[in-house]
A and B are shown apart, each in its own frame.
Chain A
């Protein structure tokens, strides 16, 4: 898994590529990267999952922990570029009720306002 960080319109964008799974984790996790940005005062977080094929329970845990940390500080956490298969799983597990999921990343970026 590779995570690249960039910023646009005061939104921190995490471009994730590969698989977010337990067995394929670099030194730093998605959650720790998000927390570092929150510590720097950033409050708008977008995770671009366009390059992600699969997420296991660890990956879901990372996304939920990142969401919780951002939300607790009054920030906004959104996902974009999610595959149809993952979206289906997110829907069935009701995660779409909590996480703001956008198909298109540009739209997601605009939605931060």
Chain B
């Protein structure tokens, strides 16, 4: 089957894409075959326990597994350490195949009660005789051994399967594909239980003979897993991704320490423990009810087998309809609580129902527990492991899945045994429905406690999940403004450049600038050197343009003099002198009209230190309209000092001038909160030049108040395409610089969805050449992310965006996963087709669907 046809077929069961189709199919086949085998073996285990062990012994089988599983975990960890992953999986499957033959031999010997007479190999005579006699003499032991072996087989096979999934797929892939794998598993379960039921019901095979069918299935599973690893090696060689990591070298103690050292894994283990204990107690409730409701052992077996089939079919239907949708629409956040919440409600029902409904209740609660366990709970549990770092995951997952889960089963058994003894169930159980109801209720109280604990732990685990996920999403680059803010004093830098330039124009202007610089800053020696502040070159002609007095050196040592407080006070006093103000008022008027650009620049600069009298401010107004951009620059500097409202319209006009724009924005921002409403009016006034309106948001961003943010958002709601980039940039800056500013979701969300819709539209209907259209779309998507920072944690949004743009395949998938947790359903619906790696045809389809839905 070609890749395309295979993908189209598999997409019916899961979200399969491109080259992952073959690996996904192999994994599904692998899981199908493994669960096929389980459900052939499981009924044999159950029927042998029921048939050959007393009911009071059943919990001991669980306890034995719980106690012995630690040794298996240790052995398994050692094997994982020493073998390449592919070899390890192959060897494990071969080991279980050998086990199947061995148990078939044991059961066959017992059932036939015949001791085979060895005739060929004399050296084997004693061994065969001894083992065959031993099997018959110690018969129930073999049943318990088989029960333990079955539990080990199931636990190890499932763990190994998910380890292989983690090897080959990244979190986002796994999340898409987990539904397909679970589907494979469910079909395997149905097939296995159907084969077991039919073969034994029709007496085609004895139960133990089914053990000879299982090796065939495991041999096929062996082929599937080898196909996966062989294919993955080729892919890795091609892309150089190195997806399959070296196996973690760990022992049991180290596995335990890995879990203990991670709060997340401890919570996961606790969550699994509470879920398994609750499930185990439900199991004992169920067995008690079935035993009391159905007296005939043969009917019990057929009833349980039929229910088993029913549960698997319901699980399959539920899984196909629900699991994928719940995960995609509501994410792990809600999927994780479905099982405990539903089971709590179901368990509470036992307190209300009459005895006549107890069998129905027991089947429903047992069915629900198993259905969730087979479907959504299993999917969620595996997804929760995915963001754990690979080295910790291998250690922790083995310990939790194999040791903790069996320990929890043992704990459930111990609790039931304790209840059995403490509450005298043996004496109170008269094998009626009424006594079954009492036992079910009393066991239910303990089960409810563990279900409630499970529910609480789901919230705690989910709270930790994003943090674990984010460890793999690191910043790819520092944003421009952040880098500048961290390293450069931009205001000082610009002043230095202006000062250096002013030396060429006029000595007066140069010293004015130095005076301003030194007065407000402690300049580094290198900078003083650069600016030429040296004793031997001091020949200042201060204020010569204003006073027209010619030149004359009067500073003996400029840096010391300017830094001297008394000197600075003297200068200030001169500016405050009424006579100075009177003279300067007249003189400024003349200078403003002067033909000399230098004179006007010096005047514009000096006004910043003058008392704001009417003539001074009038002169400043005229200088703000000066044709020389240099004059305007200094006039803007002075305007930012005096901050007079009558100058605002003049400064607003300068926003249209690219040469003066930045300084005009700086000046308006210096006015502070008082100017916001004037800016809002300019921003919304249709008759204002577009360049002015586009420059206003930056000013509001620099002011950065709540009012400024509200104005920007209100204007964005007008949906003006020509203002949109500037508005979004400004809002993004406010979010970055002013964490205290609040943005109401009901105001931001419609704009966010509108931007996302526009991006979808641009993706569907590109304008211009391919490269240009792609670039335009990239910028539109960036804008959506920028606006997202108003509603969601900025760091998370920025990191996710950067990794989607420039991250590795893995970090991009982690980013998608983190956004999946963060964003709401509507936004995801629009954003996902834009940012997911999809074939063009599929992307267009999803975009159209998203546009239709919204």
By a beta-carbon cutoff of 8 Å, the part of chain A in contact with chain B is 21-23, 25, 29, 32, 38-42, 54-61, 64-65, 67-74, 88-89, 92-95, 97-98
Q: A39-B776, A74-B805, A98-B484 are in contact. Are A56 and B479 (CB under 8 A)?
A: no
Contact A60 B659 (CB under 8 A): no
Measured between beta carbons, the chain B residues less than 8 angstroms from A73 are 778-779, 782
Interface size counted on chain B using CB atoms at 8 A? 43
Measured between beta carbons, the chain A residues less than 8 angstroms from B774 are 41
Measured between beta carbons, the chain B residues less than 8 angstroms from A93 are 488-489, 492-493, 496-497
Contact A70 B496 (CB under 8 A): no
The 5 closest A-B pairs by CB, nearest first: A68-B480, A41-B775, A71-B480, A57-B494, A97-B487
User: Counting CB contacts under 8 A, is B481 at the interface?
Assistant: yes
Contact B530 A92 (CB under 8 A): yes
Closest B residue to A73 using CB positions = B782
B window 661-677: CB within 8 A of A: 662
Bound CA–CA A78/B630 (angstroms): 28
Contact A67 B477 (CB under 8 A): no
B window 119-166: CB within 8 A of A: none
Contact A22 B497 (CB under 8 A): no
Encode B249-269 as 1/0 by CB contact (under 8 A) with A.
000000000000000000000
Measured between beta carbons, the chain A residues less than 8 angstroms from B494 are 57, 60-61
Contact A95 B493 (CB under 8 A): yes
User: Counting CB contacts under 8 A, is B595 at the interface?
Assistant: no
Measured between beta carbons, the chain A residues less than 8 angstroms from B633 are 22, 57-58
Contact B497 A60 (CB under 8 A): yes
B504 to chain A, nearest CB (A): 8
Bound CA–CA A57/B487 (angstroms): 17
User: Counting CB contacts under 8 A, is B628 at the interface?
Assistant: yes
Bound CA–CA A105/B662 (angstroms): 29
Q: A29-B658, A41-B771 are in contact. Are A22 and B805 (CB under 8 A)?
A: no
User: Counting CB contacts under 8 A, is B233 at the interface?
Assistant: no
Q: Contact partner of B498 among A56, A71, A94, A98, CB < 8 A?
A: A56
B window 456-490: CB within 8 A of A: 476-481, 483-484, 487-490
Contact B775 A64 (CB under 8 A): no
User: Counting CB contacts under 8 A, is B495 at the interface?
Assistant: yes
A31 to chain B, nearest CB (A): 8
Q: Contact partner of B497 among A38, A40, A89, CB < 8 A?
A: A89
Contact B501 A89 (CB under 8 A): no
Q: A23-B630, A57-B495, A60-B493 are in contact. Are A71 and B483 (CB under 8 A)?
A: yes
User: Counting CB contacts under 8 A, is B772 at the interface?
Assistant: yes
Bound CA–CA A55/B494 (angstroms): 10
16 contacts between A and B (CB under 8 A): A21-B501, A32-B658, A39-B772, A39-B775, A40-B772, A57-B493, A58-B629, A60-B494, A70-B480, A71-B483, A72-B480, A72-B481, A89-B496, A92-B496, A92-B526, A93-B496
Measured between beta carbons, the chain B residues less than 8 angstroms from A89 are 496-497, 500, 530
Contact B484 A64 (CB under 8 A): yes
Measured between beta carbons, the chain A residues less than 8 angstroms from B526 are 92
Bound CA–CA A68/B477 (angstroms): 12
Encode B520-539 as 1/0 by CB contact (under 8 A) with A.
00001011001000000000
Bound CA–CA A58/B495 (angstroms): 10
Contact B497 A57 (CB under 8 A): yes
Q: A25-B659, A68-B481, A71-B480 are in contact. Are A97 and B488 (CB under 8 A)?
A: yes
By a beta-carbon cutoff of 8 Å, the part of chain B in contact with chain A is 476-481, 483-484, 487-490, 492-498, 500-501, 524, 526-527, 530, 628-630, 633, 658-659, 662, 771-772, 774-776, 778-779, 782, 802, 805-806
A56-B497, A57-B493 provided; 6 other pairs, C-beta below 8 A? Answer: A23-B629, A23-B630, A58-B629, A72-B479, A73-B778, A89-B497
Q: A92-B530, A93-B496 are in contact. Are A71 and B659 (CB under 8 A)?
A: no
B488 to chain A, nearest CB (A): 5
Contact A40 B488 (CB under 8 A): no
Q: Contact partner of A94 among B476, B487, B771, CB < 8 A?
A: B487
Closest B residue to A61 using CB positions = B662
Q: A22-B630, A74-B806, A93-B488 are in contact. Are A40 and B771 (CB under 8 A)?
A: yes
Bound CA–CA A22/B493 (angstroms): 16
Bound CA–CA A60/B489 (angstroms): 13
A36 to chain B, nearest CB (A): 11
Q: Contact partner of A69 among B480, B524, B775, CB < 8 A?
A: B480
Contact A88 B530 (CB under 8 A): yes
Contact B487 A22 (CB under 8 A): no
Q: A22-B659, A39-B775, A40-B771 are in contact. Are A57 and B477 (CB under 8 A)?
A: no
Measured between beta carbons, the chain B residues less than 8 angstroms from A88 are 530
Closest A residue to B529 using CB positions = A92
Bound CA–CA A59/B662 (angstroms): 11
Measured between beta carbons, the chain A residues less than 8 angstroms from B481 are 68, 72
Bound CA–CA A80/B82 (angstroms): 54
Contact A74 B501 (CB under 8 A): no
Measured between beta carbons, the chain B residues less than 8 angstroms from A23 are 628-630
Q: A29-B658, A60-B497 are in contact. Are A71 and B478 (CB under 8 A)?
A: yes
Bound CA–CA A29/B691 (angstroms): 14
Closest A residue to B801 using CB positions = A74
Bound CA–CA A89/B774 (angstroms): 39
A105 to chain B, nearest CB (A): 22
Measured between beta carbons, the chain B residues less than 8 angstroms from A41 are 771-772, 774-775, 778
Bound CA–CA A40/B775 (angstroms): 6
Bound CA–CA A93/B495 (angstroms): 10
Bound CA–CA A58/B494 (angstroms): 8
Closest B residue to A27 using CB positions = B658
Bound CA–CA A54/B489 (angstroms): 20
Closest A residue to B527 using CB positions = A92
Closest B residue to A70 using CB positions = B480
Contact A95 B771 (CB under 8 A): no
Measured between beta carbons, the chain A residues less than 8 angstroms from B805 are 74
Measured between beta carbons, the chain A residues less than 8 angstroms from B490 are 64
Bound CA–CA A68/B698 (angstroms): 14
Measured between beta carbons, the chain B residues less than 8 angstroms from A59 are 497
Measured between beta carbons, the chain A residues less than 8 angstroms from B501 are 21, 54, 56-57
Contact A71 B479 (CB under 8 A): yes
Measured between beta carbons, the chain A residues less than 8 angstroms from B500 are 89
Closest A residue to B483 using CB positions = A98
Bound CA–CA A42/B772 (angstroms): 10
Q: A29-B658, A67-B480, A98-B487 are in contact. Are A39 and B497 (CB under 8 A)?
A: no
A12 to chain B, nearest CB (A): 12
Contact B658 A57 (CB under 8 A): no
A3 to chain B, nearest CB (A): 14
Measured between beta carbons, the chain A residues less than 8 angstroms from B496 are 89, 92-93
Measured between beta carbons, the chain A residues less than 8 angstroms from B628 are 23
Measured between beta carbons, the chain A residues less than 8 angstroms from B497 are 55-57, 59-60, 89, 93
